[in-house]
Amino acid sequence: MEPHTTSSQLGLLALWSQGDWVTRFVALLLLVMSLASWIVILIKALDIVKYKGLSHRTETFWHSESFEAGLRELGPHAGNPFVELAHAGREATAHHRNAQTQLHDTLDISDWVIRTLRNSIDDSTARFQNGLAILASVGSTAPFVGLFGTVWGIYHALMGISTEGMATIDKVAGPIGESLIMTALGLAVAIPAVLGYNALVRGNKSILTRLNRFAHDLHSYFVTGARVGTGTVRSTS
């Protein structure tokens, strides 16, 4: 057999041209899984970079002349977890003070603000985790999808041998090559998804740490009128 003939039977184009509908379906499925995982990785990575940039503005917030000026220093309000946290704390404080004759009498303002800030952080956490389930699913299932393609390729090769009645290399090289390529494709899809998932989880934890630290300072500000570690009392208006 000529070398170029063997190499042509082991390429990706040969995988598509020689494979049956099952092989093509598995290849398309792996392609879709790969595209989905890379889209999630890129979008969430850009979000983490954006949120880290916004987190650096919290120090500027505390050096502002007023609460409203501090909100402007925190950056754009749309989708900004730090702005949402500050708004939630202010609204909780105002609501508690305006509802002293209601059920809130049984709740200390500190507990009320803590609950509100925690709910805001929980909402931000859920938003940060959007899409991570896709990466986890791709990372855990792609190797098995590739393995299924491998098993089917071997089965396809054995069926070809039984049909031809003789096991020559030119009859089995293509189907065996399909099976090996499917295994490689499954791993090539799963590995970036797993690495991306781990990196995004670490990035989200970093943002949540800064968000919790900001919430702690906000809690002290709304309850005592001053940020933790400072002696300056500010007005919440």
Q: Which of 91, 85, 87 is nearest to 51 (CA)?
A: 85
Angstrom distance (rounded) from CA 114 to CA 119: 9
Is residue 100 assigned to a domain? yes
Q: Which of 172, 192, 171, 190 is nearest to 182 (CA)?
A: 190
- Higher pLDDT, residue 173 or 234: 173
How many domains in the chain? 1
Over 80: is that where the pLDDT of 116 sits? Answer: yes
Residue given tokens 């987190």 in the structure block: 55
Distance CA 227, CA 219 (A): 8
Instruction: Centre a 10 Å sphere on the Cβ of residue 33 and count the other Cβ atoms it contains.
Output: 22
Q: Which residues contact 132 (CB under 8 A, 6 or more apart)?
A: 40, 44, 197, 200, 201
pLDDT band at 78 (very low <50, low <70, confident <90, very high): confident
CA–CA dist 139, 133 (Å, integer): 10
Instruction: Tell me which residue of 180, 179, 134 sits closest to 156, measured CA to CA.
Output: 179
In a domain, 107, yes or no: yes
Q: Does an H or E element contain 73, and which? A: helix 67-73
CA distance 220 to 200: 30
Q: Could you give the CA distance from residue 173 to residue 164 in angstroms, rounded to a whole number? A: 14
More confident call, 126 vs 236: 126
Residue 194, pLDDT > 90, answer yes
Instruction: Report percent pLDDT > 90 for the chain.
Output: 28
Tell me whether residue 8 is in a domain.
no
Whether the per-residue pLDDT at 225 is higher than 80: the answer is no
For 109, the enclosing helix (H) or strand (E) is helix 109-128
Percentage of the chain lying above the pLDDT 70 cut: 73
What confidence tens digit (pLDDT) does each residue in 9-62 have? 445 565 666 667 777 888 899 999 999 999 999 999 999 999 988 888 888 888
Q: Is residue 113 part of a domain?
A: yes
In a domain, 1, yes or no: no
The parent domain of residue 148 ranges over 16-70+79-224
Please check whether residue 3 lies inside any domain of the structure: no
Residue 4 counted as domain residue = no
Residue 237 covered by a domain: no
**DSSP alpha helix (H) spans, 98-168:** 109-128, 132-164
Q: Closest by alpha carbon to 117, among 214, 237, 231?
A: 214
**How many residues are listed for the chain in this entry?**
237
How many degrees, rounded to 5, is the angle at CA 218 between CA 215 and CA 220?
115
